[in-house]
Amino acid sequence: MLLANNWKSYKILDSGDGLKLESINNYIVSRPDSQIIWQKSTPNIWNNAKGLYHRSKEGGGYWEFKQRPSNDFIIDYKDLKFNIELTKFKHIGIFPEQAVNWDFLIDKISSEKNKRKEIRVLNLFAYTGCATVVSAFAGATETVHVDSSKRIVGLAKKNIELNKLNDKTVRFIVEDVNKFVMREIRRGRQYDIILMDPPVYGRGPDGEIWQIETSLVDLVKKCVQLLSDKPILFLINSYTSSFSNVALKNVMENIMPHNKGIIESGEIGIPIENSNMALPCGIYSKFYSV
């Protein structure tokens, strides 16, 4: 398992009984997590939570605040900053475990940018744009950010502004991912890096249905057509429990051109403070050049 263990301003303080206790820039929240089937290690610290997320029987849920966070709720990761937003779907605006992929992305772009005239990055299901920020910060020539939610894309733009990266070439696209990819194929566009973080289920702006079990393979096939002749990285993240990282790797092995790089897969997670445990947070598979 790859661990996001370089955080200074984010920690999982404890976990148990279906919940995780997190410190987000010293603001402590309690959120549910279906992976957590063990018991709490230090029950006495849970009263320190200022924000508690409660699931609703009707779906979704709500936050209960003992003390509301500040309006400019921001978290740092190394030289980067990200806005925090506590949403009604229990999310916080970032996925902290993805820091392992941010570090890898920075290393790949940094090692390649002096060897190439340009590095073009496509970020699909791009959410609030943490990977988009990372790509622009690392020196990508162009980063294309695609998500079907206009509001979420607005938050991604704020993250670019927060990091003072407005001078970088970043294109924000509000569109169904499949439609955008098909149009890029017709245009003959190519990318050196493709990132995707597909949901288990979702809908596009015009009601397009996405289901990862039936939609992923076809999208990966299309994305391979967008890769440049010398691709740097193709990364897929997933949070579904319906298949393993090996299955994800098999998809890439089956579709990707061979003998041009390395394909690997695994789990990503976050260490839990004062224990030997880590919280599993998802799976990944990636193809990368060497």
Looking at residues 4-23, what average pLDDT do you find?
Answer: 98
Q: State the pLDDT confidence band at 131, using cuts at 50, 70 and 90.
A: very high
Looking at residues 137-150, what average pLDDT do you find?
Answer: 97
Does 122 or 290 have the greater pLDDT score? Answer: 122
Q: What does the block give as tokens for 189?
A: 């566009």
- Strands 120-124 and 80-83, how do they pair? unpaired
Side-chain-side CA neighbours of residue 238 (13 Å)? 26
Residue intervals of the chain classified under CATH 2.60.40.1180 are: 2-83
- Asked if residues 177 and 209 have their Cβ atoms less than 8 Å apart, the reply is no
- Best CATH choice for the domain 96-288 from the list 3.40.1440.10, 3.90.1200.10, 2.60.40.10, 3.40.50.150: 3.40.50.150
Tell me: the pLDDT tens digits for 24-66? 999 999 999 999 999 999 999 999 999 999 998 877 899 999 9
C-alpha closest to that of 279 among 31, 15, 6: 15
For residue 266, pLDDT beyond 70 = yes
Domain boundaries 2-83, corresponding CATH code: 2.60.40.1180
* Average pLDDT along the chain: 95
- Asked if residues 262 and 235 have their Cβ atoms less than 8 Å apart, the reply is no
Kindly report the CA angle at 1 between 25 and 39, in degrees rounded to 5?
Answer: 65
For residue 259, pLDDT beyond 70 = no
- Burial (Cβ within 10 Å: 0-12, 13-18, ≥19) of residue 265: buried
- Asked if residues 96 and 7 have their Cβ atoms less than 8 Å apart, the reply is yes
| Cα 47 to Cα 29: distance, rounded to the nearest angstrom | 10
Name, in order, each residue with C-beta under 8 angstroms of 107's C-beta and a sequence gap of 6 or more: none
Tell me: the pLDDT tens digits for 85-110? 999 889 999 999 999 999 999 999 99
Q: What does the block give as tokens for 281?
A: 């947070």
- Burial (Cβ within 10 Å: 0-12, 13-18, ≥19) of residue 187: exposed
Tell me: the pLDDT tens digits for 198-252? 988 887 777 788 788 889 999 999 999 999 999 999 999 998 778 899 999 999 9
Residue intervals of the chain classified under CATH 3.40.50.150 are: 96-288
| Cα 173 to Cα 175: distance, rounded to the nearest angstrom | 6
Chain-centre distance for alpha carbon 15: 22
| Cα 284 to Cα 255: distance, rounded to the nearest angstrom | 16
Kindly report the CA angle at 254 between 249 and 256, in degrees rounded to 5?
Answer: 85
pTM, full prediction:
0.95
Helix and strand numbers (H, E) in the chain are: 6, 17
The secondary structure element, H or E, covering residue 179 is: helix 177-187
| Cα 51 to Cα 39: distance, rounded to the nearest angstrom | 21
- Asked if residues 221 and 234 have their Cβ atoms less than 8 Å apart, the reply is no
Q: Taking the alpha carbons of 66, 70, 76, 81 in that order, is the dihedral positive or negative?
A: positive
Q: What does the block give as tokens for 73?
A: 């709720």
- Strands 209-211 and 201-203, how do they pair? antiparallel
For residue 290, pLDDT beyond 90 = no
Number of Cβ within 10 Å of residue 142's Cβ equals 17
Residue-level pLDDT at 211: 85
